[in-house]
Structure 1
Amino acid sequence: MKKAILLFFFLFSLSANAQIQLKITDQISGLPLENVRVKANKTIQRTNASGIVAFPGDNLKFSFALEGYESMEKTFSAGEFEMQLIPTTLNLSAVTVTAFESERPLLEQSAAVVTVSELDFSRFNEISPVNAFNQKAGVRIEERAPASYRVSIRGSSLRSPFGVRNVKVYWNEVPFTAPDGTTALNLLDLSNIKSAEVVKGPSGSTYGAGNGGAISFFSRPDVAGNRISTEYLAGDFGLSRFRLGLSQQVGEGGVEASFVSQKSDGYREHSAVDREVFQLGSFFPISEKQEIRTQLLISDLDYQIPGALNADQVAADPTQARPGSVNQNSSISQQAVLLSLGHLYRFSEKTNNNTTLYLNTNDFENPFILDYKKELGFGYGLRTKFTHDGEIAGKTLRLIAGGEYQNGLTDAQNFGNRNGVADTVRFADKLRAYQGFLFQQAEVNFTDKLLFTLGLSENFSGYEIDRQIDASGGRTGVQSRKFDPIVVPRVALNYRMNGFSSVYGSISSGFSPPTIDEVRTNEGSLNLDLEAERGVNYEVGYRLGKEKFNFELIGYFLKLNETITTFTNENGVVLFRNAGSTDQKGIEASFDYAILRNADGFFKDFLVGTAYTGQFFKFDNYAKQDNDFSGNDLTGVPPHNLVSRIDLRTSVGFYANLTHQFTDKIPLNDANTVFQDSYNLVNLRFGFVRTFGGLDLEVFVGVDNLLDESYSLGNDLNAFAGRFYQPAPTRNWYGGVKLGLNY
């Protein structure tokens, strides 16, 4: 009896101490994967920096999920095991995207969608999103000066002399684009972006205004594990960047905080940047039915504007600033706060709602050569979405419905600029911009292979300009413009040819009202007659995705009416007008191939890729005074762009990333009499990454513009006095170190 009792307690002790320890690694590189979401029964944990997670028990069924990798399930008994996850970057059938609010594998998406992952960002210097996005077909971010971005999706930057317009941007499901249609993308540091999805072409059926498309940025989806991390980068032209991050698990949720400081003197005179960004996020699963997410973003940005040069000035000294920029302290100082609250509620396994509310403030100051602008703004808004999965007549049906509303209030004042100091007020306004829309979408699987999508949105928008002061004696009082409700449809078909290839076709509508900056210009005029752009896009695409090879080919035709173009008056003030219509035909092709993948020996993986963008855009009907530009190439759009990539990684931790980008000549004015020459950019980064116990270490160096090309990454279009060019940096080096410790 005594022996039996001892045996019982011995077996009970073994059972009580039974444990399953898993090490999760990347199938390609063999490196441990941090933050893998591992679920067994109702318990959720995250892997640490060594890729390790442990659960008490025996014979448990696990599910594994990590953005950028295939989701998997597997059962393990007690013991220690290694689990390899397959990157989805080389398997389109497993890449899941949330474009048009429908979470589906990319092969089932009937839209042009590209993903930009953390691996894409880490191929470059990580001080801006420019290089990572520019390696994708149909996507181009220009940088006229450090921290001065202009986003062009399928050539959509024609009306953007500065800033981001005609593209809808979201950050962690928060509408980051202001209700007036502008986006301060430079308020975000790259550490605030872990991945991104870009929807190319009109997407108004789900995202509202914008013919260029939509970009969704995501930071960490949730927090698990306790970790502190830091990194430092330094480079030419006085570049320095410091980041400190902290993650703390709280129950099944947690909080994450980060602080980033980035400074540089700039390649050109008067092009320094100083940006500090603090982010605090939390994730808490209240129950099996509810989740809450919060985000706090505080950004403090100061950067100088060197201004555009003419050809003679570039030839004499490309590093010089435009005459007057230094004396007038042409620059931007901007402080912003964004606070958001997100709530997910699952009514059942088939029905859920996701709602996000936000508040923001913005303090903007912009001394320029010709004037001095001050703005103080406050905004709020929300976005909500209901999703239901069901059936109709025996066919699988997914219904999506929701709405979005934004309202922005701004006190705006324009002064004279006397040696960089605000002088006498010229005009002052109280501004209000608002926009909202409802959207509905139905997805029906007519067969296992054929998916039909019908989407529709009903949109309204407008602005009010209450002129308080007009020193020139012009009209004061409220002036407003309300755009008639616009219905924007989208219809699409996707056919899965087999398990690894599909074809799709779509017809989608878009619209883009003028922004307040286009209506209310710097010299004080109000162009209330400026009309909204309207576009219809016809598109077909083919995708092939196997384990080691991906291929995508897309052709489209966008017919754009009431196209908004720019011109510059004799004082250098940029003004806007509608210019008839444009025909925009394009081809996008990309492929990725793994020559080696998780191979034995010194070289673990060897990946190559290419992305081609062909943009054959023409003014269809464009007469300006006595000039007829019909048939000319669209201003600011290169007809050809080709990017090639090589990634090499070794078993001991050394890696190298090489990128080559060819950009064709670019017309800089509507008359097509001035072009920027074509150029070749080569970027190289190599380094060493390894885990030592609980410590992650990465050391890297890199070079941008290896060929030392002379080029302009963001030209001024239709510029007065030939000031088209914003010279980009010559060859420059950088290096850094990253450390991460789990505690």
Structure 2
Amino acid sequence: MGKACSKIIGYAFLFLNFQIGFAQADSTILLGETIVKGFETNQSILKTGASVSKIVQRDIERFDNTTPLEVLNTQAGVRLEERSPGSYRLAIRGSSLRSPFGVRNVKVYWNNIPITDGNGQSYFNQLDINSIGSIEILKGPSGSIYGAGIGGVLNLQTKNAVAGNAVSTGMHIGSFNTLNSFLSYQHGTSKNNLFLNFSTNKTDGYRENSAMNRQTLNLSNTFFLKKHSLSVFGLLSDLDYLTPGGLTLAQMEANPKSARPKTAATPGALEQKAGIHQKIAVVGASDTWSLGQSFELTSSVFYTANALQNPFITNYEQRNEQTTGYRFVLSKSIDNLKFWVGSEGLRTNSSFEVYDNNFGQKSKQRYTDKINSGQNSVFFQGQWSLPFEFVLTSGFSLNSQKYNFERVPTLPSVAKIDISDEPVVPFSPRVSLLKGLGKSTSVFVNLSSGFSSPTAQELVASVQNAPNFELLKAEKGFNKEIGLRHRTNSFWNTELVFFQQNIKNGLVRNLTATGNEYFLNTGEILQNGIEFSNTMALQKTNDTEFIKEANVSLNVIYNDFSYQKFISGASDFGGKELPGVSKYNGFLKIDVKQQEGFFLNFDLNYLSKMPLNDLNSVYAEEAFLSQLRLGFTRSIRKIDFKIYAGVDNLLNEKYSAGFDFNAFGNRFYNPSPPRNFNGGLKLDFKF
């Protein structure tokens, strides 16, 4: 399958290069100029001296959105994994070793407010992709202006309302009793932009004990005043998903649908009703104030409440968390100079109550862990537009982190742990130099350092389960990259980036014999990579040709990630490949729309084999995944409708969309569905 993939990607390169020769200078703008927020700069991506990707609403709606999996995995250097419905792990230029579930080592913002809490955890699976209008991804350390996170930054924006009033509704059905639906209302004027969305997502799942059910209510309302743009946001989400657990290779081959079976030492996932039951509420407000004399102040405040229950195979955890936070940025423009100064603060109070698990019901309480955590960051950045199309950007941040940990009833060794400022790099600088080469091309060099503190969950898990507990240290990362971008009348967009990142004190997840997790600091990790992305319009928008428009995209990624220094007990893993990272990735996307409204979407995603443990003794086989969707769209007066049918895993590959790395007993595998089918309908009413 790897040879076939290599040929297809090679032919795709030739095809794209052949088509470029026929690109016409007067072509209609189809792909559009991309404006990115980036490091608070709000400028064309051609003038941004860093690796930034942006996914716009059209690309998000292309998938009619059961999960964000397909949306994010179109981007070079980004990998979202799904071990079972609702259980996500996100990696930006790196492994997912730290994330048994959720998102860690990546800072996540929603409408300019951080939804990464003071514990370092982001509950990304609570957001409904149907309500998202754009996604911006910063790759690599971004601590100079965004604080903790070596992997990068994910910035999600709610949809903007269309002009006037509109009601939208849609339904998506699929194999395994999948049913997703949404209902939204939009109101857009020069003074107000309102978006309100309710959605439900549920499925029985492919495997035993893998059902998922989520309801989400999302509100975004922006008021445009004389000198202010004031926005209020709200999110309510109720999520239940069951976790089938990992299988050995023999168990997967015998019955890939099965949940993790019981052993002589531990019960199985099905009998313990393993899963996550979570309710979350987020409210926030953001104001942009034009102060005059080129000053602008953006201020945000927010509050999050999270209640989570996790019946696991070996215990039952009940978690309650409250997070408050703020962010403000003051900017000033002076001729060819622009400056930013700002601050961000998060505080999370958490209670982790741990009980015995009696067949999915909590029974005898073991202990309660109480954690108060706080993050604070102060940052400064300047950007200078220099002669000869040079742009110099430089910035830094000063950071602090505090954890206060207490266990009740107390144990002599772990009664209290107070970590003040220890697990962070207090100074995180960044400098980039960009050179414009005419109107359509630029090159840049970017140097940045960052840090990622151990999360509260990692700290607690290690206190509870590590054979020889040692206080965890923050990861430290230093990233170097050079990139080339080219855009021809928005008809052809391409980017090539070379990067190298050195990580010290890298945090690696391990499991005990009973399946409980704990974390260790490695000595050093080296990440070398090449990312190539290419998008072009093969057919300009044309109202007379049989094919109205056609677009094609190709991403090719090379990753060489390895441990440089890592000794655990008697084992030396120096020189071993990092688990969970494919050396070669490829993604091909083709979209064709016919004049009468018929359309075709095709995706092809290739992952080379990857190691599943630190020893590199077990590898996942390469995967060659594809999707096909056919549909019809039409506008009749003030009603737009779309109907479609599709096939996932078109080639019927045997694969896992997420693995358990370094799993005890070689239970690495979480089998994903074979070939399956879906269809749906969407209606938009404008009035």
TM-score, normalising length: structure 1: 0.85
Distance in 2, matches of 1:204 and 1:508, equals 8
Distance in 1, matches of 2:413 and 2:68, equals 43
**1:694 to partner: Cα distance:** 0.6
> Are the equivalent residues in 1 in contact too, given 2:161–2:186 (CA < 8 A)?
no
Given candidates 486, 502, 505, the residue that maps to 1:559 is 502
Given candidates 576, 588, 597, the residue that maps to 2:519 is 576
**1:474 to partner: Cα distance:** 4.8
Given candidates 328, 332, 343, the residue that maps to 1:384 is 328
Alignment pair present for 1:638 and 2:582: yes
Q: Tell me the amino acid that sits aligned with residue 281 of structure 1.
A: S
Name the SS of the counterpart of 2:421 in structure 1. strand
**1:454 to partner: Cα distance:** 0.6
Distance in 2, matches of 1:480 and 1:114, equals 38
Distance in 2, matches of 1:504 and 1:629, equals 35
Q: Tell me the amino acid that sits aligned with residue 379 of structure 2.
A: F
Q: Tell me the amino acid that sits aligned with residue 442 of structure 2.
A: S
Name the SS of the counterpart of 2:409 in structure 1. strand
Q: Tell me the amino acid that sits aligned with residue 129 of structure 2.
A: L
**1:468 to partner: Cα distance:** 2.1
Alignment pair present for 1:330 and 2:274: yes
**1:690 to partner: Cα distance:** 1.1
Name the SS of the counterpart of 1:376 in structure 2. strand
Which residue number corresponds to residue 542 of structure 1? 484
Deviations 1:381-432 (A, max 9, x none): 01111111113xxxx0010111100001112100110111101111102211
Distance in 1, matches of 2:141 and 2:223, equals 35
> Are the equivalent residues in 2 in contact too, given 1:156–1:166 (CA < 8 A)?
no
Name the SS of the counterpart of 2:656 in structure 1. coil
Distance in 2, matches of 1:330 and 1:540, equals 45
Deviations 1:590-647 (A, max 9, x none): 1112221113311011211100111101111112222211111111110000001111
Name the SS of the counterpart of 1:135 in structure 2. coil
> Are the equivalent residues in 2 in contact too, given 1:97–1:104 (CA < 8 A)?
yes
Alignment pair present for 1:589 and 2:532: yes
Distance in 2, matches of 1:606 and 1:593, equals 9
Distance in 1, matches of 2:97 and 2:414, equals 31
Name the SS of the counterpart of 2:616 in structure 1. coil
**Structure 1 pair 570–726 and aligned structure 2 pair: CA distance change class (3 A):** same
Name the SS of the counterpart of 1:696 in structure 2. strand
What is the correspondence of 1:221-260 to structure 2 with a 5 Å cutoff?
A: 221=160, 224-249=163-188, 252-260=191-199
**1:280 to partner: Cα distance:** 1.7
Which residue number corresponds to residue 317 of structure 2? 373
**1:116 to partner: Cα distance:** 1.3
What is the correspondence of 1:34-53 to structure 2 with a 5 Å cutoff?
A: none
**1:479 to partner: Cα distance:** 2.1
Given candidates 77, 88, 99, the residue that maps to 1:149 is 88
Q: Tell me the amino acid that sits aligned with residue 61 of structure 2.
A: S
Name the SS of the counterpart of 1:214 in structure 2. strand
> Are the equivalent residues in 2 in contact too, given 1:125–1:734 (CA < 8 A)?
no
> Are the equivalent residues in 2 in contact too, given 1:481–1:528 (CA < 8 A)?
no
Q: Tell me the amino acid that sits aligned with residue 606 of structure 2.
A: F
Alignment pair present for 1:524 and 2:453: no
> Are the equivalent residues in 1 in contact too, given 2:465–2:517 (CA < 8 A)?
no
Distance in 2, matches of 1:411 and 1:494, equals 47
Which residue number corresponds to residue 293 of structure 1? 231
Alignment pair present for 1:505 and 2:445: yes
Given candidates 59, 65, 74, the residue that maps to 1:120 is 59
Distance in 2, matches of 1:362 and 1:521, equals 19
Distance in 1, matches of 2:470 and 2:636, equals 63
Given candidates 46, 49, 61, the residue that maps to 1:107 is 46
Distance in 2, matches of 1:429 and 1:670, equals 30
Alignment pair present for 1:691 and 2:635: yes
Alignment pair present for 1:269 and 2:197: no
Distance in 1, matches of 2:462 and 2:66, equals 31
Given candidates 109, 112, 124, the residue that maps to 1:185 is 124
Which residue number corresponds to residue 460 of structure 1? 400
Structure whose CA Rg is larger:
1
> Are the equivalent residues in 2 in contact too, given 1:456–1:490 (CA < 8 A)?
yes
Name the SS of the counterpart of 1:132 in structure 2. helix
Deviations 1:108-157 (A, max 9, x none): 11100011122222332411111111111101100011010000100142
> Are the equivalent residues in 2 in contact too, given 1:713–1:726 (CA < 8 A)?
yes
Given candidates 349, 374, 380, the residue that maps to 1:409 is 349
> Are the equivalent residues in 1 in contact too, given 2:190–2:224 (CA < 8 A)?
no
Which residue number corresponds to residue 348 of structure 1? 292
Which residue number corresponds to residue 5 of structure 2? none
Name the SS of the counterpart of 1:524 in structure 2. helix
Q: Tell me the amino acid that sits aligned with residue 544 of structure 1.
A: H
Name the SS of the counterpart of 2:149 in structure 1. coil
Corresponding residue pairs, total = 649
**1:525 to partner: Cα distance:** 4.8
Deviations 1:621-680 (A, max 9, x none): 112222211111111110000001111011111111101011000100001000000010
**Structure 1 pair 296–354 and aligned structure 2 pair: CA distance change class (3 A):** same
Q: Tell me the amino acid that sits aligned with residue 53 of structure 2.
A: V
**1:85 to partner: Cα distance:** 8.3
> Are the equivalent residues in 2 in contact too, given 1:123–1:685 (CA < 8 A)?
no
Name the SS of the counterpart of 1:101 in structure 2. coil
What is the correspondence of 1:76-91 to structure 2 with a 5 Å cutoff?
A: 86-87=29-30, 89=31
Distance in 2, matches of 1:161 and 1:197, equals 24
Distance in 1, matches of 2:313 and 2:76, equals 37
Distance in 1, matches of 2:564 and 2:413, equals 37
Distance in 1, matches of 2:332 and 2:160, equals 22
Which residue number corresponds to residue 8 of structure 2? none
Distance in 1, matches of 2:487 and 2:593, equals 22
Name the SS of the counterpart of 2:387 in structure 1. coil
Which residue number corresponds to residue 309 of structure 1? 247
Alignment pair present for 1:431 and 2:375: no
**What is the root-mean-square deviation in Å for CA atoms of aligned residues?**
1.6
433-442 vs 252-261, greater mean Cα deviation: 252-261
Distance in 2, matches of 1:248 and 1:680, equals 43
Which residue number corresponds to residue 659 of structure 1? 603
**1:349 to partner: Cα distance:** 5.9
Gap runs ≥5 in structure 2: 1-26, 262-267
Q: Tell me the amino acid that sits aligned with residue 238 of structure 1.
A: N
> Are the equivalent residues in 2 in contact too, given 1:519–1:528 (CA < 8 A)?
no
Distance in 2, matches of 1:468 and 1:193, equals 41
> Are the equivalent residues in 2 in contact too, given 1:660–1:683 (CA < 8 A)?
yes
242-251 vs 454-463, greater mean Cα deviation: 242-251
Given candidates 471, 487, 492, the residue that maps to 2:432 is 492
Distance in 2, matches of 1:379 and 1:528, equals 27
Q: Tell me the amino acid that sits aligned with residue 596 of structure 1.
A: Q
Distance in 2, matches of 1:248 and 1:594, equals 32
> Are the equivalent residues in 1 in contact too, given 2:306–2:322 (CA < 8 A)?
yes
Which residue number corresponds to residue 479 of structure 1? 417
Which residue number corresponds to residue 663 of structure 2? 719
Which residue number corresponds to residue 7 of structure 2? none
**Structure 1 pair 251–612 and aligned structure 2 pair: CA distance change class (3 A):** closer
Could you list the runs of 4 or more consecutive aligned residues of structure 1 that deviate by over 3 angstroms after TM superposition? 84-87, 221-224, 248-251, 473-478, 525-528
**Structure 1 pair 242–699 and aligned structure 2 pair: CA distance change class (3 A):** same
**1:718 to partner: Cα distance:** 0.5
Alignment pair present for 1:469 and 2:409: yes
Which residue number corresponds to residue 360 of structure 1? 304
